[in-house]
């Protein structure tokens, strides 16, 4: 094999045998005028030696041949080292092949999972806005993992192959490399010997450094870590909903707490459009046709005394069963569409009847019943819009519901009308005087007394249950915060007991007649106070005498040494 080598402006000139022998450095063994030996096979060493001793030669146009005989260690250790290198290379190749097979299996599994997800998504149209995004992210994550596995497997195989090739593998028998050069400054290396018979591969020199290999391994490890992080991020993004799905999910969650939004989402009115005049006419005609079929069913039920079958119903309508079913279904769909498209009208009217004893949810339900009634009564031939006609039916349903359901005890409807006028008067007076109106002003404008005004106002107040949960955590009831007036305050009860004892002690300082007169006069025993005449009859004395006894007892009780124990009760709330 001829290898050209450049020596950077260095050339060699051989004059004769004696000049070559005298100029040869100690590391070069002289052979002849055209051949000499070097102790190393490494090309870098050869170039260094020739450049180092380029001053010993002269430029010439002649041609010379340099024969290099490497000194090879033929010990058993060298053979064992070469065998280990070959074994490791084969193991590395098998591991790389296994990694590639594993990557292919993972890719196939990913494709099957994607196909399975696509199949399940076709049966789950309600969640397509989130499932399709998850599927795309999952495909991206699997594709990234597949590329990273292939890249790591190829890098691992390449690194181990370089490691094997980097080991110096030398010929064992007497191989000779011949370097030829001419005056043009180029040098060629020729292998003239035969290598070791057990190695069929050509002999190459070690060229990579250990530090470079370690750096490449570090870079491969860093790329693998980045691939794992990217796969983790892709998995997290696949599990997390997108911005659109998050906004839609938050909207649905907010609708659960808002009665209006929850009602619109449950009924489908949020996605329905308003009807045009032509659509209202067409749908209302189908509704009237539906009502005629239902009326026919009611008459059949009265005649037969039972629910008629579909065949009997279709025969009474003089129609085939298939045509009858289509006609009935069209009528039902038309009625549902008219109701769904006008549910927002129910909400707008129900908001005006809040704070009258019914919750907004109940008002919306009652208004929907009025809308259904208006849909059945609407006549498109009169030229009015359906919303104008249905508005009055919604109001009628709301006012009736408030009259019948707002209070535990039913209040007459005319009283509600009076309450409505009172509220209107209060609103007008507030706007005029810029302050809350007085009851006398409202009663004067209403033409009634203040007492009657108060009675009407109290009668329409809403009743509340004592078991109603209240508080931040809704763990207490309203009844726990209302005092029981039938139970005496313990402090007052104890104070009365102490007062009774102290009064008894003070009265014990009087004489028996004075004590009895005071007990009867002020009802200290039975709570019944008696007159002087009644006490005189009991003791058989005149009423004047009873008065004198009472006055004497009172003078004694006013003495400080007697009543000092009672001064602490003065002003007590008993």
Q: Is residue 484 part of a domain?
A: no
Specify whether 428 is located in the same domain as 460. Answer: yes
Task: Out of 383, 406, 429, pick the residue that ends a domain.
Answer: 406
Complete DSSP assignment for 476-522: EEGGGGS--TTSPPHHHHHHHHHHHHHHHHHHTTS-HHHHHHHHHHH
Residue 149: predicted pLDDT: 64
Residue 77: predicted pLDDT: 61
Higher pLDDT, 151 or 32: 151
Task: List Cα–Cα distances, 104 to 143, 285, 450, in angstroms.
Answer: 11, 64, 92
What's the structural domain count of the chain? Answer: 5
Q: Write out pLDDT tens, residues 492-536.
A: 888 888 888 888 898 888 899 999 999 999 888 888 888 999 999
Residue 440 has pLDDT above 50, yes or no: yes
- Residue 190's DSSP bridge partners are 178
**Rounded average pLDDT over 137-153:** 66
Residue 341 has pLDDT above 60, yes or no: yes
Q: Is residue 483 part of a domain?
A: no
Q: Write out pLDDT tens, residues 66-79.
A: 444 444 444 566 56
**CATH, residue 397:** 1.20.120.1810
Task: List Cα–Cα distances, 52 to 10, 47, 185, in angstroms.
Answer: 10, 8, 15
Specify whether 427 is located in the same domain as 564. Answer: no
Cβ proximity of 415 and 367 under 8 Å: no
Residue 484: predicted pLDDT: 76
Task: Out of 406, 428, 458, pick the residue that ends a domain.
Answer: 406
Q: Write out pLDDT tens, residues 46-67.
A: 444 444 444 444 444 444 444 4
Tell which residue, 557, 519, 552, 554, has the closest CA to residue 538: 519
Distance CA 500, CA 569 (A): 11
**Rounded average pLDDT over 381-398:** 90
Specify whether 51 is located in the same domain as 183. Answer: yes
Higher pLDDT, 400 or 158: 400
Residue 296 has pLDDT above 60, yes or no: yes
Specify whether 15 is located in the same domain as 88. Answer: no
Residue 9: predicted pLDDT: 39
Q: Is residue 250 part of a domain?
A: yes
Distance CA 399, CA 391 (A): 13
Distance CA 252, CA 246 (A): 10
Please measure the distance between the N-terminal and C-terminal CA atoms of the chain and give it in whole angstroms. 128
Specify whether 377 is located in the same domain as 303. Answer: yes
Higher pLDDT, 560 or 155: 560
Tell which residue, 529, 531, 527, 528, has the closest CA to residue 500: 527
Q: Residue 170, by phi and psi: left (phi above 0), alpha (psi -120 to 50) or beta?
A: beta
Residue 192 tokens read as 């003239």
**CATH, residue 416:** 1.10.10.10
Find the range with the poorest average confidence among 6-15, 88-97, 393-402: 6-15
For 170, half-sphere exposure in the C-beta direction (CA atoms, 13 angstrom radius) is 22
Domain residue limits at 58: 1-72+170-208
- Spell out where 282-424 has E strands: none
Task: Out of 458, 478, 498, pick the residue that ends a domain.
Answer: 478
Q: Provide the whole-model pTM.
A: 0.39
What average pLDDT is seen over the chain?
Answer: 72
Sorting pLDDT into bands at 50, 70 and 90, what band is 443? very high
Residue 571 has pLDDT above 80, yes or no: no
Residue 29 has pLDDT above 80, yes or no: no
Specify whether 176 is located in the same domain as 40. Answer: yes
């Amino acid at each position: 094999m001829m290898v050209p080598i450049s020596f950077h402006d260095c050339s060699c000139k051989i004059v004769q045998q004696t000049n070559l022998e005298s100029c040869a450095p100690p590391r070069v063994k002289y052979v002849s005028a055209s051949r000499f030996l070097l102790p190393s096979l490494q090309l870098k060493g050869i170039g260094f030696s020739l450049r180092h001793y380029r001053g010993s030669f002269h430029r010439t146009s002649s041609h010379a041949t340099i024969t290099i005989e490497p000194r090879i260690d033929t010990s058993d250790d060298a053979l064992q080292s070469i065998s280990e290198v070959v074994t490791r290379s084969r193991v590395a190749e098998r591991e790389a092949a296994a990694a590639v097979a594993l990557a292919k299996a993972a890719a196939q599994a990913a494709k099957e999972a994607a196909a399975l997800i696509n199949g399940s998504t076709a049966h789950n149209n309600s969640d397509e806005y989130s499932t399709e995004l998850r599927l795309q992210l999952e495909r991206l994550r699997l594709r990234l993992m597949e590329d990273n596995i292939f890249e790591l497997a190829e890098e691992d195989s390449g690194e181990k192959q370089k490691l094997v090739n980097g080991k110096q593998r030398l010929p064992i028998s007497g191989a000779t490399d011949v370097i030829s050069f001419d005056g043009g400054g180029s040098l060629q290396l020729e292998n003239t010997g035969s290598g070791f018979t057990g190695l069929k591969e050509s002999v190459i020199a070690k060229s990579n450094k250990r530090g470079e290999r370690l750096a490449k391994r570090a870079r491969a490890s860093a790329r693998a870590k980045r691939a794992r992080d990217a796969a983790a991020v892709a998995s997290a993004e696949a599990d997390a909903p997108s911005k659109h799905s998050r906004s839609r999910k938050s909207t649905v969650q907010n609708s659960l707490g808002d009665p209006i939004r929850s009602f619109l989402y449950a009924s489908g009115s949020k996605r329905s459009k308003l009807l045009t005049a032509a659509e209202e006419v067409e749908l209302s005609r189908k509704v009237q046709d539906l009502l005629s079929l239902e009326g026919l069913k009611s008459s059949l039920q009265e005649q037969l005394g039972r629910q008629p079958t579909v065949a009997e119903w279709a025969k009474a309508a003089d129609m085939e069963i298939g045509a009858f079913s289509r006609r009935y279904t069209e009528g039902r769909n038309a009625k549902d569409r008219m109701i769904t498209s006008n549910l927002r009208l129910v909400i707008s009217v129900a908001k005006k009847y809040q704070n009258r004893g019914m919750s907004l949810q109940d008002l919306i339900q009652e208004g929907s019943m009025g809308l259904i009634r208006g849909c059945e009564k609407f006549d498109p031939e009169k030229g009015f819009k359906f919303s104008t006609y249905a508005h009055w039916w919604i109001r009628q349903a709301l006012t009736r519901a408030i009259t019948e359901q707002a209070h535990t005890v039913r209040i007459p409807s005319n009283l509600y009308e009076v309450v409505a006028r009172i509220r209107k008067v209060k609103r007008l007076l507030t706007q005029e005087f810029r302050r809350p109106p007085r009851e006398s002003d409202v009663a004067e404008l209403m033409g009634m007394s203040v007492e009657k005004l108060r009675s009407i106002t109290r009668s329409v107040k809403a009743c509340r249950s004592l078991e109603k949960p209240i508080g931040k955590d809704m763990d207490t009831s309203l009844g726990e915060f209302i005092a029981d007036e039938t139970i005496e305050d313990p402090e007052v009860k104890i104070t009365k007991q102490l007062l009774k004892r102290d009064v008894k002690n003070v009265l014990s300082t009087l004489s028996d007649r004075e004590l009895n007169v005071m007990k009867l006069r002020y009802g200290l025993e039975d709570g019944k106070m008696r007159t002087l005449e009644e006490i005189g009859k009991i003791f058989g004395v005149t009423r004047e005498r009873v008065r004198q006894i009472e006055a004497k007892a009172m003078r004694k009780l006013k003495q400080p040494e007697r009543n000092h124990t009672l001064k602490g009760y003065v002003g007590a709330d008993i």
